Structure 1
Amino acid sequence: MTMRTGAEYLESLRDGRNVFIDGERIEDVTKHPLTRGYAAQAARFYDLHHQPENEASLTFVDEDGTRRPIGWLYPRNQRDLERRRDYANQVIRSFGGGAFGRLPQSNNGNWYALVDDTAPWAELSKDTPATVDLARNIIADFEANRDADLWTVPLLNDVQRDRSDPSVAARNPMLRVKERNDEGIVVAGWKGVSTAVIFADTILLGNIVKPGTEPEHIIWASVPVNHPKVTHVGRRSNATPAESGFERPLSSLGDELDSMAYFDDVLIPWEHVYHLGNVDHSRLYAQRTFDFEHADTLHHMIVNAELMTGLAVLVAQTTGTLQHPVVGSDLADLVRFHETLRAFTIASEATAFVTPRGLCKPNNIFYDFGRAHYLENVGRLTEKLVEMCGRSAVLSPSEQDFEVPEIGTRLLEMFHGTTMSAHDKVRLFKFVQDRFLSDWAGRFRSFERFQGTPLFLIKLLTMQRISTDPGGSITELAREAIGLGTSDEMTARAVAERKELFGSVTPVATQPAPAQAAAANQGFSLDDKDQPDYIKTQDA
């Protein structure tokens, strides 16, 4: 099987997986009211690839002559990245205009950080039997998941815990290796949080190193979602299965659900283990694992910005304010927001680089900048959209109200617009309400902040990837404009002046710029004449 159908996907979910939501065990995620909606949406994702009109845009034929979803396309050049972007754009907008952030295409690229260079995972692993070929395991499991068109969801984050006291962190029951034996490793503890894992097939275990992380916590491996000793605890669902698509156009579709997982002495066979015990190695690879997922996040943001812009124009049209100068200014902000995000993703592809192993990666500096730009502006622009709606964003009649003999006609008269019927106008406002003001919308906002990476962390990652050496290229233009010369010449003048003023010279301690040190440790390299030297610190 290279491209499974929606029916095959739904049947695979009926496997006895251990799922609890709001204290209730979900016996079948394809049938329970809290989960069946999103399961159906994910099934529709698989079916999209079988529609003849989507063959060219959603599928490709690999070197072996096998047709696969473009989500599995291993990019070798810039054109491949553009195809993946066009693919993501079509998929994302097909589901409520970007209503779901974690469909399968956004996750499967997490394999690439391992597959691209298997040697370090194997060579730097700790306490691994010499007979176990970790590099082979990575390739074999990647190909098995790809060939069966499975959905792999990463579990790298740990459940939030108290970090104020190291002893508390040490006692925290995060996932750890309890035992190594001839069959594999036995692990126990918690992992979380991840989105849509209860609807997926495979868990890709890994780590984001934080204070309190010890070697026994470092586990890179894969486990079936339906493992009998793995229990998934999901948050309360915001799905509204009892509501009509008119009243709740998005939440009635389902809720992708975030969850955490408890591993109760789970045996992971050696053939599904990729790396163990090396905190330093894991620290370098956490963000790299998310490179393609973060690029997909920016694709989601672009679609959402387009959606917001279109909604704003429709609202302005139906309220008769399209020509109002203030509304025009707000619409210009939304258009600029959308086009700026597109520019970031195009820039990330135009300055992409190919690793020594042949994987073409989008320039993470630019898609990080794009995600930061989105997070800095989306709240303000959402408020502008809601303000355009006025009271209609929170007060509009139900579909049944239009059928009431005593008042239905009067409602039709009140909501009728020159270019939009009363029903269409109310549908527009109910969409805005469900997308931006409901409980479902509140979770979506939180998810965007999480999947986009907290803004402060994006800035921190940026500083790790940019050289801020005062003597480097980042200050070259400023030094030339002022006439300061080189960094050595500046230092020489400062030393001479200090000697003249104070009669002695105290050596000035020098340290490498933080970004340079980080770059040296992470093996960054890129030579691209089209961008400044100080951002030539890409993960190759």
Structure 2
Amino acid sequence: MMTPEEYLASLNDGREVYIYGQKVADVSRHPAFRNSAYSMSRLYEALHHPDSQELMTDIDPEGYRTHRYFMPSRSCEDLLKARDAIAHWSRLTYGFMGRTPDYKAGFTATLKSDPHLYAPFHDNALNWYRQSARKVLFLNHVLVNPPAGRARAASEMRDLYLHVEKETDAGIIVRGAKMVATSAAISNATFVAQNSAAQYQPGGEEDFALCFILPMNAPNLKIICRRSYEAAALSPFDNPLSSRFDENDSVLIFDGVFVPWENVLIYRDIERARSFYSASGFLNRYPLQSGTRLAVKMDFICGLLAKVLESNGSDGFRGVRARLADIVALRNLMWSLTESLCHNPEPRRDGSVVPRLEAAATVRYFGTQMMSQLKPVFNTILGGSPIMQVSSWLDLANPELKDLIGCYFQGTDQEAVDRLKLIKLLWDALGSEFGGRHELYEHNYAGNNEQVRLDMLRHCESSGVLEQCRALVDDCMADYTTDGWARPGWQFDGACRDRV
């Protein structure tokens, strides 16, 4: 397993990261990424720290110590322990870093469970499992084509969409763009595949049906980053979250990138490129990480809202308490769903287990609704109090303002500096551009909203759950006919027809 120092050193590998018109020389020290990279290094520290190593790690089937979620689970108890390891990491970022290394471990662990799904590249699958588990590699992923020409056939968008340009004895050369590569600048490799909703036509679009893993320092791979919230942060006091937990999102441009055959998992196979999500167990596994991380985030949000209401002096109002209870209920729901994911798991053919698809689909469904239910409460019970801030920590140091701020910005039984510290934390979490990006992320990280719903319905249909629901209605309707009860016990006085 990488140490914190090894992780940070791994980022200085010659990768091509671009931000604000410049190529980044050292990601781990650049003002746009250094605090986020350090936040990530603290996760690796937890793997080795004597107080948390037993909670976080175990010995994998090949005899190496690794993060519990980076290897296949063999029982309900293993899943619960993996959930607790995920939660420990999430608490180190208060739930605000969603694509930590354990997210993609939801996929890489399945490479050990069923490598033959990727035949003839099954040896590649096993090798990437070993690399991932032994080092606890940090992978990002890119699944989506650029948002242009969505109504056109992929073959018409060859100048934009990622595709095979050339095949050689040593590998393939690919060209095109993919998004959204969250934390690409500070991760070790990217997992490249197709969105499960992508529709490619056999006989003409096989060049787009690819799945491979690629180190971030691959020649001709360009990492084009969005604006950095970390670099824009005024101070820890003003931006306590965005200054250290900014998962910078990127577009990856493959400008004639060579991919060795040993990195390829699926090649020009449209059906396999579409179906491996469910066939591999990834759809079953990844909601355990995303759901647990969101549950931790909801813990934080509940505590934050409760403290602001206390500062406002409105925490005892009946209506306010009722709306806070709505948020607590969402928090309880997410933790209950993580329990459901771990209990009564689904067996795989190698003897490992994964959460059942019905439970996983439910986490995806409710997880994408959390922010839309949270924001109206935020807007309603806090009124204008989140806006009552000073411009920055510098105002507190101004002798002309210090006493005035101390008087007029105080909270209920709370000094002004403590209230401002709390309000700025609230604003960074929910009201800032960083908060807006998080709202967008929570809505969309599981896929487009329609697909999330259709997946859940399809799982219920294929597993027989919906048929059981129909059968329950049929049982009820079989109890009676137009002549009365069809089964003995209940009574019906036919004479009541005279009263109609």
- CA 1:165–1:379 in structure 2 vs 1: closer, same or farther (change >3 Å)? closer
Residue 429 (structure 2) pairs with residue 429 (structure 1): no
Q: Distance in 1 between matches of 2:253 and 2:226?
A: 14
Q: TM-score by structure 1 length?
A: 0.82
Q: Is 1:99 aligned to residue 92 of structure 2?
A: no
What letter is aligned with 1:156? L
Offset of residue 359 of structure 1: 2.5
Choose which of 248, 269, 284 in structure 1 pairs with 2:239.
Answer: 248
Looking at structure 2, the residues matched to 408 and 235 of structure 1 have their Cα atoms a distance apart, in angstroms, of 37
- Local SS of the residue matching 1:253: coil
For structure 1, list consecutive stretches of 5 or more residues without a partner in the other structure.
123-132, 486-540
**Take 2:24 and 2:310, find their aligned partners in 1: how far apart are those partners?**
45
Unpaired segments of 5 or more residues in structure 2?
481-500
Name 1:316's counterpart in structure 2: 309
Please report how far the alpha carbon of residue 303 of structure 1 lies from its aligned counterpart in structure 2 after TM superposition: 1.6
Q: Where does residue 192 of structure 1 map in the other structure? A: 179
> Cα offset for 1:471?
9.8
Which residue matches 1:272?
263
Partner of 2:461: helix, strand, or coil?
coil
Q: Cα offset for 1:461? A: 0.3
Work out the CA distance in 2 between the residues paired with 1:36 and 1:319.
Answer: 35
Confirm or deny: 8 A CA contact 2:371 2:439 kept in the other structure.
Answer: no
Q: Is the 8 A contact 1:110 1:291 kept in 2?
A: no
Q: For residue 466 of structure 1, what is the aligned residue in structure 2?
A: 460
Query: What secondary structure, in the 3-state scheme, does the structure 1 residue paired with 2:230 have?
Result: coil
Does the 8 Å CA contact 2:112/2:125 hold for their aligned counterparts? yes
Match of 2:44 in 1: 46
Q: 1:341 to 1:148 in 2, by over 3 A?
A: closer
| 8 A contact 2:367–2:442 mirrored in 1 | no
1:242-298: CA deviations, max 9, x gaps? Answer: 521111111111521111212232222222222212111221113553543332111
AA partner of residue 436 (structure 2): G
Give 2:475's aligned residue.
480
Following the alignment from structure 2 to structure 1, what is the Cα–Cα distance between the partners of residues 285 and 211? 18
* Aligned-residue offset at 1:384: 1.5
The answer to whether the Cα contact below 8 Å between 1:312 and 1:388 also exists between their aligned partners in 2 is no
Of the structure 1 ranges 434-443 and 312-321, higher mean CA displacement relative to structure 2 is found in: 312-321
What value does the CA root-mean-square deviation take over the aligned residues? 2.5
Whether 2:200 is the aligned partner of 1:205: answer no
Q: 1:224 pairs with 215, 221, 226, which one? A: 215
Q: State the match for 1:11 in structure 2.
A: 9
Q: Which residue of 1 aligns with 2:445?
A: 451
1:57 is matched with which residue? 55
CA contact (8 A) 2:284 2:360 kept: no
CA distance in 1: counterparts of 2:261 and 2:393, whole angstroms:
57
1:241–1:254 CA contact under 8 A, matched in 2: no
Q: Which moved more, 1:232-241 or 1:312-321?
A: 232-241
Q: Determine the structure 2 residue equivalent to 1:298.
A: 291
**Structure 1 position 416, deviation (Å):** 3.5
Cα distance in 2, alignment partners of residues 32 and 251 from structure 1: 15
TM-score (norm 2): 0.88
Q: Amino acid of the residue matched to residue 101 of structure 1?
A: G
CA distance in 2, matches of 1:433, 1:276: 46
Look up the match of 1:355: 348
Name the CA shift for 1:15/1:290 in 2 (closer, same or farther; >3 Å): farther
Q: Report if the CA contact (8 A) 2:284-2:356 is conserved.
A: no
Are the structure 2 counterparts of residues 470 and 377 from structure 1 closer, same or farther at C-alpha, using a change threshold of 3 Å? closer
Give the superposition deviation at 1:440: 1.1
Work out which of the residue numbers 211, 232, 239 in structure 1 matches 2:230: 239
- Residues 167 and 281 (structure 1), Cα distance of their counterparts in 2 relative to 1, 3 Å cut: closer
Secondary structure class of the residue paired with 2:87: helix
Q: Which amino acid aligns with 1:144?
A: Q
Are residue 344 (structure 1) and residue 337 (structure 2) matched? yes
Q: Give a deviation string over 1:149-199, Cα, whole Å, max 9, x none.
A: 321222222222313233773434322222222212222222222211221
**Structure-1 residue corresponding to 2:206:** 215
Q: 1:400 to 1:171 in 2, by over 3 A?
A: closer
- Tell me, in whole angstroms, the C-alpha distance in 2 between the residues paired with 1:418 and 1:167: 59
Distance in structure 1 (CA, Å) of the matches to 2:355 and 2:411? 46
Q: Distance in 1 between matches of 2:145 and 2:287?
A: 19
Q: Distance in 2 between matches of 1:170 and 1:405?
A: 61
Alignment pair present for 1:405 and 2:399: yes
Query: Counterparts of 1:165-180 in structure 2 under 5 Å?
Result: 165-166=152-153, 169-180=156-167
After TM superposition, give the deviation of residue 241 of structure 1 in Å. Answer: 5.3
Distance (whole Å) between structure 1 residues aligned to residue 31 and residue 329 of structure 2:
40
CA distance in structure 1 between the aligned counterparts of 2:382 and 2:468, rounded to whole angstroms: 48
Report if the CA contact (8 A) 2:71-2:133 is conserved: no
Q: Deviations over 1:357-384 (max 9, x none)?
A: 1221112322322332243343232231
Q: Specify the SS of the correspondent of 2:243.
A: helix
Alpha-carbon separation, structure 2, partners of 1:262 and 1:417 = 50
Q: What is the alpha-carbon distance in structure 2 between the residues aligned to residue 195 and residue 371 of structure 1?
A: 18
2:168 to 181, 185, 196: 181
Paired AA for residue 444 in structure 1: H
For residues 272 and 154 of structure 2, the distance between their equivalents in structure 1, rounded to whole angstroms, comes to: 24
